[in-house]
Structure 1
Amino acid sequence: MKSLEQFYNFEEYDDPARYDEQNSGYKRDIPLLMKWAEKQNGPIIDLACGTGRATFPLARAGYDVTGIDVHQGMLEEAKRKAHNEDNINWLLEDCANLNLHRKVDFIFTVGHSFQHFLTNDSQDGLLASVSRHLNEGGVFIFGPRFPNAYELISEPEEEIDHSYMDEATGHTVDVYHLSRYDTLSQIQYNTKIRRYKNQHEEVVHEGKSLIALRFVFPKEMERLLEKHGLSILHVYGDWEEGPISAASSEMIYVCKK
């Protein structure tokens, strides 16, 4: 049996508080999720929920949400924040091998989580899990990165991506990025380098993390979804429901079983 480490990337998520600090402000996907939650009604499943960035807004809107992730540290951080959220059920499970013996009308996975499933088998496992837990007519929403020319260019030299303030230490953190795209496996291997600087602009700490992301092309995705009984209702180029084009950075799928 293959180990989970062959299918998942844990390193970038080994500091859940840091992950939360850098990503909690992202909310572009929430309006579309809310729109479809209102249409579908009933309980919701958030696959690869992480620390609950998208889980909490839906729960606070009154929906019964189950947040599922394979990373215990991320779930613990979510639970820590959820002391007043009585309508969230957190589960430590493998999303590619899920059997909850229940079905819902709405499932989603966001944060480019689909790309963490690096093999054909793991992608099939995820979509089989989705299909197994959706009622007929149920909706599945997810949004991987679009494999445009820019995304697939390797960046062997360090490039600064962004900077932020580390609340715990007060240090400025410069985040650098390197990447290598393997055309045969369609996997992009990324290295993130974080350099922590004090008030004198001196680097006092450096950390590295690795993450691999599988890219899927649109026609390939069509066949993959069809294989698992999921028909495409909409494909958008962003979470604001803009049209998809060769210049898009994301492809947002709204699918129906």
Structure 2
Amino acid sequence: MNSRTYDSGADYDAQYSALYEPEIRTLTALALRQGGAVLDLCCGTGIVTVPLAETGLEVVGVDISAEMLATAKAKAVGRENLTFVRQDALEFISGQRFGLALMTGNAFQAFLSEEHVKALLAQVYEHLRPGGVFIFDTRLPEGYDFTLDDDFKLWSEYRDAAGDLARFLVKQTAFDAEHGVLHYEMQDVFADGTVKPSSETLKFTPLRTLLTWVRAAGFEVVGEYQNWHLEPLQAGAAAAVLELRKPN
């Protein structure tokens, strides 16, 4: 598994928290429809996890980063229906069976081999009750530009934890076409001139291949969407949200 690292969860929240409104709205409705406990894998700072717990449902968030979980736990003080576990998603073991499992932020792509993707699907399937749903987002190679960059490009601007304007720059530096694995170098450039480098590697799995794997894991595919607004998936899309169900 691969993931971008952050010095603090506050850095992540400053950059991304405002972007998760569609996920929160859709997942809240789905969690209430499903009923029962909710499992948020690779939950990060709890941007989605904490609002889900506000429904009153029991929620478990799992993440490997102590820094991200520290921020998540600070948001969850006093919530007895919310538990955070520091663990690799592939190693999470619980006797509990969940009505809903989810992954957001394209965390699904951090599992960089076919073996790990299939292991993740098996892990989620095992932890769902019959009729339980697994929903996640992922970018797709069908609509993605894998051209390597000569220099860093502006990806976004955001307000950092201090409220100052920061720029996020990205450079695509290496692509393994056989395995669909793309490596990025990144820079956060802050108002005082400080530059914080980071890197990330993600796996892009063709939709047809991915659907074959999820069905082989035992899931039924109940929804293929363009985004978290649940608009129907279009041919050649650069990203998808997939809704899977464990049969009754």
TM-score, length basis structure 2: 0.92
Q: For 1:157, what is the secondary structure of its paired residue?
A: coil
Match of 1:232 in 2: 221
Q: CA deviation at 1:106?
A: 1.1
Match of 1:30 in 2: 24
> How far apart, CA to CA, are the structure 2 residues paired with 1:166 and 1:135?
40
> How far apart, CA to CA, are the structure 2 residues paired with 1:76 and 1:29?
22
> How far apart, CA to CA, are the structure 2 residues paired with 1:87 and 1:205?
40
Q: CA deviation at 1:141?
A: 0.5
Contact 1:96 1:128 in 2 (8 A): no
Deviations 1:3-49 (A, max 9, x none): xxxx22243x3432101111111211122212221221011111111
Contact 1:96 1:123 in 2 (8 A): no
Deviations 1:145-196 (A, max 9, x none): 122444433233221112223242x543222110133212211111111222
The letter of the residue matching 1:130 is V
Contact 1:97 1:126 in 2 (8 A): no
> How far apart, CA to CA, are the structure 2 residues paired with 1:150 and 1:141?
21
RMSD over equivalenced CA pairs, Å: 1.6
Sequence identity percentage: 28
From 186, 194, 197, the equivalent of 1:208 is: 197
Alpha-carbon distance change, 156 to 28 in structure 1, aligned in 2, over 3 angstroms: farther
From 228, 243, 255, the equivalent of 2:244 is: 255
> How far apart, CA to CA, are the structure 2 residues paired with 1:150 and 1:254?
21
Which ranges in structure 2 are unaligned for 5 or more consecutive residues? Answer: none
Q: CA deviation at 1:247?
A: 4.8
Contact 2:4 2:198 in 1 (8 A): no
The letter of the residue matching 2:220 is S
Q: For 1:177, what is the secondary structure of its paired residue?
A: strand
Equivalent residue pairs, number:
244
TM-score, length basis structure 1: 0.89
Deviations 1:77-100 (A, max 9, x none): 111121132210111122112221
Of 180-189 and 125-134, deviating more is: 180-189
Contact 1:158 1:176 in 2 (8 A): yes
Q: For 1:24, what is the secondary structure of its paired residue?
A: helix
Which ranges in structure 1 are unaligned for 5 or more consecutive residues? Answer: 1-6, 199-203
From 115, 126, 134, the equivalent of 2:120 is: 126
Matched, 1:159 2:153: yes
